[in-house]
Structures are given as C-alpha cells and as structure tokens.
C-alpha cells in the first residue's frame, strides 16, 4: 500500500484570532469564517454597540467571540488594547478607510485620514500583534485586507491605492523579518465588494459601469468570496505561504 499524504486541516480549533473592523462588511465575514473554523475571535472596531451585536450573533450560532473597542488611528491606545487581550495566533488587519477624489483635488485632511487608518494604523496594530506572537513563540498568521488597488491603480484612488501598495511592501519586509519566528505575513486583495465603504462608488453609474467592465467573472464580489481565503491563510493548509498576496479580484488584474 502506498502511504497517502494527508491534506493539512483547515480547522482552527484552539487558536485565538484578532480581526479589526469586525463590526460590518469584510471584517464581519472574516470574523464569522474564523469562528466557524473553530477559532476564538476577538472582534475589534471603534463602535462598541455594533461589535457587541456581532459577538451576540456569533455566540448565538454556538461560536466563540468577544468584543474589543479600539481605534487603529490611535496606535498607542490600540497597542495597549491588543496587549491586554493577546497574544494571538491569527491577525486579520482589516480596518480601512477611503476618501476617494481626483489626485489634483486631494486635501491634506483626506490624505491623513486614509493614511492614518490604512497604513499607519495597520502598521502599528500589526507591530503590536507581532510583538505578542514573537514573545509567545508559537508562530502565527498575519493577514492584511489590502486590495486589488495594492496591485493596480484606479480612478479617484491615488491616496487609497498608495496606502494599499505600501501595505504590499510592508507585508514582504515583515515576512522576511518574522519568518524565522514561523510567523507568516500575507495580504488578501479583494476586488469591489458591496459594503458601506464601497456604496458611494456603486451608486455612481459611471463607476458602476467601470467596475462591470473590469471584472472578468461579470459580477461584483460578495463578503462570502473572502471567507474561504481567510480560513486558508490562517491555518496549516497555507503553512509554506508568506510574503505574498492572494488576489480575489474576479480577474480584474488579469488585463
């Protein structure tokens, strides 16, 4: 008999995950997917009421979760909150912001708001989680919800795509540094997904037509399209994957 190799488990039982921006949209999908796979999920965002509602729904479904109020735009406070609840085995850095405008009209305030959450906030939240992972010595998986705009440009998106390209660079360098600790660092890069963040783009007919013309699979993304990728990158099935990105773009970047 030929001894058969065994597919590594996609289960996450016994692991503790942190998801920022877990109260709605893509982050909610990530939190639900990780909890369904067996992880205890710490759901973080600024608004505590919405988080408690999400945690109530997860617990009602028999899953394990708790709420953590934090603002990634305040790195010191966010790090203190992360230290208090960690260490974590899995981190999904998902909290994000967008202030789309033509490049020549971008204000300093909008630039700072988007960079503050998408880059500075993601960077220092990741730093806080990684410090805890290194100290715990058990390895881990860090994922940032970047974007297809971390690989291509887009209309009215100079600041947004600048932050997402920066996240791709951060991910590669962090993977080099954290690899010896068996901490993997990757990005997930969605195309347009219908959420409160993307609603203004979808409600502009010109932009909606642009989106429809670019996605080869001829439909926009759903939160559910991200959920399997998060479970895959969180667990043992992706044990040799680090420093890269998983595009979930319906073929947008294929050409």
Q: Enumerate the active-site residues.
A: 160, 164
Residues counted in the chain: 255
Interior CA angle at 236 toward 232 and 242, to 5°? 75
> In angstroms, what CA-CA distances link 23 with 20, 142, 204?
8, 19, 25
Q: Which of 31, 45, 58, 174 binds ligand NAP (CB under 6 A)?
A: 45
Size of the site for ligand NAP (CB under 6 A): 31
Does residue number 123 form part of the binding site for ligand NAP (CB under 6 A)? no
Does residue number 25 form part of the binding site for ligand NAP (CB under 6 A)? yes
CB of 81 to ligand NAP, least distance (A): 10
Site string for ligand NAP, 199-238 (x = CB under 6 A): ----------------------------------------
Residue 237: exposed, middle, or buried by beta-carbon count in 10 A (0-12, 13-18, 19+)? middle
Among residues 1 and 109, whose Cβ is nearest to ligand NAP? 109
Does residue number 145 form part of the binding site for ligand NAP (CB under 6 A)? yes
How many Å apart are CA 183 and CA 204, to the nearest integer?
Answer: 41
Q: Which stretch binds ligand NAP (CB under 6 A): 32-40, 70-78, 107-115, 206-214?
A: 70-78
Site string for ligand NAP, 77-116 (x = CB under 6 A): -----------------xxxx-------------------
Which residues have a Cβ under 8 Å from the Cβ of 126 and sit 6 or more positions away? 91, 93, 142, 144, 170, 174, 185
Residues that bind ligand NAP (CB under 6 A): 20-27, 45-47, 50, 70-73, 94-97, 117, 121, 145, 147, 190, 192-193, 195-198
């Amino acid at each position: 008999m030929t001894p058969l190799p065994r597919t590594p488990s996609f289960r996450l039982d016994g692991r503790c995950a942190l998801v920022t921006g877990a109260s709605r949209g893509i982050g909610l999908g990530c939190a639900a997917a990780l909890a369904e796979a067996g992880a205890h999920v710490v759901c973080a965002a600024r608004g505590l009421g919405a988080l408690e509602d999400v945690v109530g729904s997860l617990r009602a479904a028999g899953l394990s979760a708790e709420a953590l109020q934090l603002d990634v735009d305040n790195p010191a406070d966010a790090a203190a909150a992360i230290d208090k609840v960690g260490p974590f085995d899995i981190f999904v850095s998902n909290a994000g912001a967008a202030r789309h405008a033509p490049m020549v009209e971008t204000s300093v305030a909008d630039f700072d708001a988007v960079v503050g959450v998408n880059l500075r906030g993601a960077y220092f939240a990741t730093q806080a989680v990684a410090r805890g992972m290194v100290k715990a010595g058990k390895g881990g998986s860090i994922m940032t919800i970047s974007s297809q705009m971390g690989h291509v440009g887009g209309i009215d998106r100079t600041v947004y795509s600048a932050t997402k390209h920066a996240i791709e660079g951060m991910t590669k360098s962090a993977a080099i540094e954290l690899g010896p600790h068996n901490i993997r660092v990757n990005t997930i890069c969605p195309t347009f997904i219908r959420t409160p963040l993307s609603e203004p783009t979808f409600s502009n007919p010109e932009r909606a037509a642009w989106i429809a013309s670019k996605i080869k699979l001829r439909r926009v993304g759903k939160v559910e399209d991200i959920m399997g990728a998060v479970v895959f990158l969180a667990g043992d099935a992706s044990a040799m994957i680090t420093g890269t990105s998983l595009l979930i773009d319906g073929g947008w970047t294929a050409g």
